[in-house]
Amino acid sequence: MTVILAQLFSEARSEEIDKICYLSLGRLGPKFTAVEFNLAEKMMIRVLAKAYKKGEEQVKREFKKIGDFGDVAYKLKIKNEKLKNEIQNSKLSVNDVYKRLYDIAAESGEGSVERKIEKLSKLISALDSLSAKYIIRIPLNKLRLGFSDMTILDALSWMIAGDKSKRAEIEGSYNIRADVGQIAKKLKITNYKLKIEIKNSKLRIKKLIDTLRLLKPQIGTPIIPALCQRLPTAEKMIEKMGKVAVEPKYDGQRLQIHFSKKKTAIFTRNLDNVTQMFPDIVEVLAKEVKGKSVILDGEVIGIDPKTGRFLPFQETIKRKRKYQIKEMVKEIPLKVFCFDILYKNGQDLLKKPFSKRRKILEKILSSSNAIIVISPQIVTDDPQVILDYHDEQIKKGLEGAVLKKWQSPYDPGKRGYTWVKFKQEKGKKGGGLADTLDCVVMGYYRGKGRRAIFGIGAFLVGIRKNEKFLTISKIGTGLSDEQWRELKLKIKNEKLKIKEKPKEYIVDKNLTPDVWTAPGLVVEIEADNITKSPIHTAQYALRFPRLVCFRNDKSPDQASNLKEVEKLYKLQ
């Protein structure tokens, strides 16, 4: 699959390679641009009826039989072509299709739905059967070709080097500018220029990677957040990291704030642009941030307006919404705890040691009574001080502490030993699972007895291994009635229920669920410990697993991976 994609990138022109990247992922831009079509499935019946001059009832019957609008479009187009005794090829280019799709998504205001249906039906009718099959799935967010941004980075490496050997270097640039189309275009243009100048392929590839390394942070394009590693004890942490800054670990939502006079943007760890959801944060940025342009890394947490105490994650996450935003601003006021600064007034700060970044942050933010404040910290190399600080945070209702190597750079997208989380359960002295896992819901089993009313009695969860998902637990206990209902509702609302097992799932036949779900829903799971398993495809299983919460702020590619599970198994 990677090789085919690399061949496509090699043949593509520089002015279309970014669009090919986006369309291949079923999008019209990088994830953070959130260009949406807002076309429901029932509208597709009208689109196909118009495109192929069929009755809406006929299209509806075909859809009920087949269950996929892409396959319906293919079947109807093939029938039309056979009637004409010819198989057509599309005359449209990638740029033509992209522009027309973008125009459809951009339609708004009165009568916009009718204009979208008209434009999409014209586009579909102009496409050959195979093209129509895939293009019709894009507005429905159901393209699912089976690869992610990471597959595209692999293919870009293959395009320039003939293998995946340059993936890490390309990913390093992507971590600083999380726009796979922009990275692909930069590579394509630079590679073309260097081919003319340099005949030696090894030297050319080296120069190409060196050019990519010059990419700096950009206001409005998110940086992939740094991640925490795990170590078993405070002593091990000091042994591995030396002098550390110790900060509270908040049970909130990670936010990256981009601010300048021209542009303001707020992103989640999942690269969702949530600027419109936090008008209270946007409003105070100019007052509370002393700088022309900055990129801040922090955590937002809800505050109980009556008691002033921190709210749990499930309450804070209610602020992430599209509607009734003004009402929620009053109901759940926020406090943003900034713990890092990545960019200031045109200067890239990623490679500066944390000690220096902290001093810059202290000059940028100073008011302790503001909405946006600096996260408190202590600096130490004493394990006992770390333990005491951790216990203090637990008493405050927080999750524990985060340790940061005092002289380390900021590592975008990396789970190295520059950041380590100390998230031990209160009273747990040793053994057991040292942290929770973020798992993907892969399917569910229909309820029996009392749970029949929910239509769900257990669910199957998995972890990542590269582009695949491996099972690690079947969870049937530890959920409240409300959580069972919420789980079923989320699967329904996010349209994750599918007929066949996704090709990226590896599941033992004895664990086949009654209903498969597409990768989309991430849940945080705690357990007593991890054991070896002959039936789960991860080769590990969770003992006494319990649902902590639904991680609406995380996507499947941010779920825990096999290496993390292996590490936790050894730590216990």
**Over the stretch 273-306, which tens digit does the pLDDT of each residue have?**
999 999 999 999 988 999 999 999 999 999 998 8
Model pLDDT, residue 382: 96
Amino acid letter, 337: F
- pLDDT > 70: what percent of the chain? 95
**pLDDT higher than 80, residue 34:** no
3-state secondary structure of 447: coil
pLDDT in tens, 242-278: 999 999 999 899 999 999 989 999 999 989 999 999 9
Sequence-separated (6 or more) residues with CB below 8 Å from residue 472: 437, 439, 461, 462, 463, 533, 536, 538, 540, 541, 542, 565
**Closest by alpha carbon to 372, among 306, 307, 282, 264?**
282
* Of residues 186, 208, 187, the one with CA closest to residue 197: 208
Q: Name the percent of the chain lying above pLDDT 90.
A: 66
503 catalytic per annotation: no
User: Is residue 218 predicted with pLDDT exceeding 50?
Assistant: yes
Whether pLDDT at 229 is above 50: yes
Question: CA-CA distance, 277 to 328, in Å (whole number)?
Answer: 10
**DSSP secondary structure, 332-377, as one string:** S-EEEEEEEEEEETTEE-TTS-HHHHHHHHHHH---TTSSEEEPP-
- 431 closest CA partner among 525, 540, 543: 543
Task: Give the pLDDT confidence score for residue 428 in this predicted structure.
Answer: 43
Rounded Cα distance between 37 and 29, Å, is: 12
Output the pLDDT for position 422. Answer: 84
- Please write down the long-range contacts of 348-353, taking CB distance under 8 Å and 24 or more positions apart: 348/216, 348/217, 349/410, 350/176, 350/217, 350/223, 350/409, 350/410, 350/412, 351/409, 351/410, 352/409, 353/406, 353/407, 353/408, 353/409
Residue of 85 and 385 predicted with greater confidence = 385
**Domains present along the chain, CATH in parentheses:** 38-135 (1.10.3260.10), 233-422 (3.30.470.30), 437-571 (2.40.50.140)
Looking at this protein, which amino acid is placed at residue 361?
A: L
Residue 336 banded pLDDT, cuts 50, 70, 90: very high
DSSP 186-234: HHHHHHHHHHHH---HHHHHHHHHHHHHT---BTTBPPPPP--EE-SSH
Using the 8-state DSSP alphabet, how is residue 517 labeled?
Answer: E
pLDDT in tens, 316-334: 888 888 888 888 888 999 9
Residues 514-523: what's their mean pLDDT? 94
pLDDT of res. 480:
83
pLDDT of residue 387: 93
pLDDT-derived band of residue 89, with 50, 70 and 90 as boundaries? low
Residue 60 DSSP one-character state: H
Its pTM stands at 0.83
Quick one: pLDDT band at residue 429, thresholds 50, 70, 90? very low
| Cβ burial, residue 55 (10 Å; 0-12/13-18/19+) | exposed
pLDDT at 26 over 90: yes
Q: Which two tokens stand for residue 152?
A: 């595209």
pLDDT, one tens digit per residue, over 122-172 is 999 999 899 999 999 999 988 878 788 999 999 999 999 999 999 999 999
Return the half-sphere exposure (C-beta side, CA atoms, 13 A cut-off) of residue 430. Answer: 2
Reported as a pLDDT band with limits 50, 70 and 90, residue 82 is: low
What does the pLDDT read at residue 427? 41
Q: Are 393 and 399 in contact (CB under 8 A)?
A: yes
Which pLDDT band holds residue 88 (cuts at 50, 70, 90)? low
Tokens of 396: 């405050």
Token pair listed for 99: 């522009």
| Confidence at 504, pLDDT banded by 50, 70, 90 | very high
| 518/516 Cα distance (integer angstroms) | 7
Average per-residue pLDDT for the chain: 90
The catalytically annotated residue of 31, 50, 185, 249 is 249
Provide the 10 A C-beta neighbour count for residue 76: 22
Matching residue, tokens 């009402």 = 327
On the question of pLDDT at 426 being above 70, the answer is: no
Residue 525 β-bridge partners = 437, 547
The DSSP line for 9-59 is HHHS-HHHHHHHHHHHTT-SS-GGG-------HHHHHHHHHHHHT--HHHH
Residues 43-73 pLDDT 10s? 999 999 999 999 999 999 999 998 889 999 9
| H-run or E-run covering 499 | none
Q: How far apart are the C-alpha atoms of 75 and 66, rounded to whole Å?
A: 10
Task: Tell me what pLDDT residue 450 has.
Answer: 65
The better pLDDT of the pair 410, 314 is held by: 410
Residue 431 has pLDDT above 50, yes or no: no
Is pLDDT of 86 > 70?
Answer: no
Q: What is the pLDDT of residue 493?
A: 82
C-beta separation of 418 from 411 below 8 A: yes
Q: How many residues does the chain have?
A: 572
- Tens digit of each residue's pLDDT (9 = 90 or more) over 536-566: 999 999 988 999 889 988 889 899 999 999 9
CB 413 within 8 A of CB 175: yes
